[in-house]
Amino acid sequence: MTTDVGASHEMDQKADLDRILNKLLTFSITLTVAPIGSYFICISYIFKGNPINAAITAIATSILVLAAFMFAPFLNDDTRKSRHTVVDGSESKEVK
C-alpha cells in the first residue's frame, strides 16, 4: 500500500515539474519572439521606418511578457484553497 502512495506522489511531482518546465519554455520563447516581432511589425507597417518608436514598442512588449510571467503563479496558486485527502475511502481530513 505504501508503494502505491509513493508512486502516486512521485507521479504528481513529475507532473508538476513538467508543467513548470512547459510554462518556463513557453515564456522564454514568447520573450524572444514577441519583442522582435513587434519591432519589425511596427517599423514596417505602423511607424513606417521610425526605429525609435518601434524600439519603444519592443521594450513595452518585453515588459508585458515579464509581467505576465510574474503574475502567472498567482493565477495557479492552490495554497489558498483548502486541500482534502481521502482517508479509509469515506472520510476526509484537511491537509495544511
Could you read off the pLDDT tens digit of each residue along the chain, which spans 96 residues? 455 666 777 888 888 899 889 999 999 999 999 999 999 999 999 999 999 999 999 999 999 999 999 998 888 777 666 555 555 555 555 555
| Spatial contact of 34 and 3, defined as CB atoms under 8 Å apart | no
Q: What is the pTM of this model?
A: 0.68
pLDDT, residue 71, reads 93
Q: Phi/psi of residue 95, each to 5°?
A: -105, 130
Alpha-carbon distances, residue 57 vs 28, 43, 50, 60, 89 (angstroms): 19, 10, 11, 5, 56
pLDDT, residue 91, reads 53
Domain boundaries, the chain: 2-78
pLDDT, residue 3, reads 58
Cα–Cα distance for residue pair 63/69, rounded to 1 Å: 10
